[in-house]
Amino acid sequence: MNILKKAAGKILYGIAKLLSVVLDVFIKVVEAIVTVLGNVTKGLIAFIGMGGCLLLFIFSGPLGFLLLMNPLVLFAILFFVIFPLLGTKFVSYLKYIKYIVTEFLFDRARYLIDGISYQFESFSEYKDKYRRMEEERKRREQQQRWNEQQRVWEERFRQWSEYQRQNSGYSDYEWYGQNAGNSNQNMYQDPTIEFKKKYEESCDLLGVKYDADKYEIKLAYRKKAKEYHPDLNKSPDATVMFQKINNAYEFLSDSNIERYRRMS
């Protein structure tokens, strides 16, 4: 009986391994297609932008009507516009299916081969684990973006402070003489105006006052994020708006709140 169980487990493990490889290859192919079509679509949009008036003239006339009535033209438009948008979600769904199916099969195979207990009893528990993993991945990416954003701002303010310190002893005439012909003198610009503009735009996006504290900002963020979450809001611009809301919330960090207050 144990021999049969182990044999069945090895067969099941082989099936899971093969399925994992096949899905990995398929996912990579779909990702490549989505990336290529996305780049082509961006190029077409740029091309249309350069010759927008001419294209508008063509498509507004009888020739444009005939072109739009052609099934091949309609298919091409839908393919290059819709597929890159849906393709990303399709890739995410494929990764989700790959994880829950292969993990389920690998667990059953290990149980038959070595008697190791299952991680979970049902598919739904594997689904929950995958969602938790994705949420953790997104949190890590968000933290990395925030760290990089803070690093860039800190470096800009440091460079500006150093630039001011080095040139604080010169009169305007002397400073010009010292820096005449120096192509680097325009590299260091006061980042204060840009920082305040970005901060206030982020507050406007979340609908909070400029002197709002972290608690008020967090409440506003949760409300806005729920309103524009793509799973709840089906409007075409929901995904873009949701990303803008996340970016604004990332920018309104404790250190940036304190920096803005010192500027005010």
pLDDT in tens, 171-198: 444 444 444 444 444 456 788 889 999 9
For residues 242 and 238, give the distance between their C-alpha atoms in angstroms, rounded to a whole number: 6
For residues 228 and 241, give the distance between their C-alpha atoms in angstroms, rounded to a whole number: 7
**Residue in the structure block whose two tokens are 């150093």:** 162
- C-beta neighbour count of 188 within 10 angstroms: 16
pLDDT at 17 over 90: yes
For residues 98 and 34, give the distance between their C-alpha atoms in angstroms, rounded to a whole number: 19
How far, rounded to the nearest angstrom, does the alpha carbon of residue 59 sit from its chain's CA centroid?
34
For residues 29 and 75, give the distance between their C-alpha atoms in angstroms, rounded to a whole number: 21
The predicted pLDDT at position 18 comes to: 94
Tell me which amino acid residue 249 is: Y
For residues 109 and 86, give the distance between their C-alpha atoms in angstroms, rounded to a whole number: 34
Of 59 and 249, the one with more pLDDT: 249
Q: At what angle do helices 62-69 and 52-60 cross, to 10 degrees?
A: 80
For residues 203 and 212, give the distance between their C-alpha atoms in angstroms, rounded to a whole number: 8
pLDDT at 158 over 80: yes
For residues 241 and 228, the answer to whether their CB atoms sit within 8 Å is yes
Output the pTM of the full model.
0.60
Give me the percent of the chain exceeding a pLDDT of 70.
75
Q: At what angle do helices 123-167 and 71-114 cross, to 10 degrees?
A: 110
Distances in whole angstroms, Cα of residue 211 to Cα of each of 148, 200, 230, 245: 25, 10, 30, 18
Name the DSSP letter for residue 117: P
For residues 202 and 251, the answer to whether their CB atoms sit within 8 Å is yes
With CA atoms as reference, report the closest residue to 152 among 123, 117, 195.
195
**Residue in the structure block whose two tokens are 């594997």:** 126
For 210-259, the pLDDT digits (tens) are 999 999 999 999 999 889 887 777 777 887 888 899 889 989 988 899 98
For residues 173 and 182, give the distance between their C-alpha atoms in angstroms, rounded to a whole number: 15
For residues 112 and 6, the answer to whether their CB atoms sit within 8 Å is yes
For residues 101 and 37, the answer to whether their CB atoms sit within 8 Å is no
The predicted pLDDT at position 45 comes to: 65
